[in-house]
């Protein structure tokens, strides 16, 4: 966490963009850390014969994906529904 009270430098016309960039880059770093971890796990498991990387990397048959479509749709809705700008609960209208 920041330890100083002075305001951070601002580069965008809307300072909110500066802060959102910070959140985005922090998430991107976490994604890369997870990718690295996954790669390491897969490599170890392949060395031990637990997984076959060639099979793992094959395109998934549409029939195999079908059971996961609801999960996919829920993920997308969770990610993108804020773009619609609608309330999730009944608020007090200004």
Partner 1 sequence: MSTANARAFSAAQDFLLGAKKFWTTQMYPQLREQNQAPTIGTASPVDERVQDNDLYPFYAWMERHLQRMKYAGRYGLVPWHDTQRPALEAALAPVEVPTVPHFAVPDYYPSFDVHQHPGGLMGDSLAGFVYERGARSTTPLDKHFDLHHRFTRQVSAVTSPQRILDVGCGFGKSTRPFAQQFAQAQVTATDLSMPCLKLARHLDAQENITHVRYLQADACATGLKAGGYDLVTSTMLLHELPTTHLAELFVQAHRLLEPGGWTVHLDFLPQVQPGCDDFTDFIHAGHAVRNNEPYMQSLAAFDLRGHLQSLGFTDIGITPFAENDHALDPSYPYWRFPWAVVQARKPM
Query: How many CB atoms are located within 10 Å of the residue 42 CB?
Result: 15
47 sits near partner 1 (criterion: CB under 8 A): no
Tell me if 16 contacts partner 1 by CB under 8 A. no
Rounded least distance, CB 10 to partner 1, Å: 9
Residue 9 lies near partner 1 (rule: CB under 8 A): yes
CA distances from 3 to 15, 32, 67 (A): 20, 26, 47
> Looking at 34-42, 45-53, 55-63, 65-73, which segment touches partner 1 (CB under 8 A)?
34-42
| Residue 78 in contact with partner 1, rule: CB under 8 A | no
Is residue 8 helix, strand or coil? Answer: coil
């Amino acid at each position: 966490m920041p330890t100083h009270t002075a305001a951070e430098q601002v580069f965008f016309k809307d300072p909110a963009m500066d802060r959102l960039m910070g959140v985005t880059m922090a998430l991107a770093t976490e994604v890369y850390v997870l990718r690295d971890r996954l790669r390491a796990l897969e490599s170890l498991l392949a060395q031990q014969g637990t997984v076959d990387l060639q099979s793992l990397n094959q395109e998934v048959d549409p029939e195999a994906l079908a059971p996961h479509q609801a999960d996919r749709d829920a993920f997308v809705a969770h990610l993108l529904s804020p773009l619609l700008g609608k309330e999730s609960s009944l608020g007090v209208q200004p």
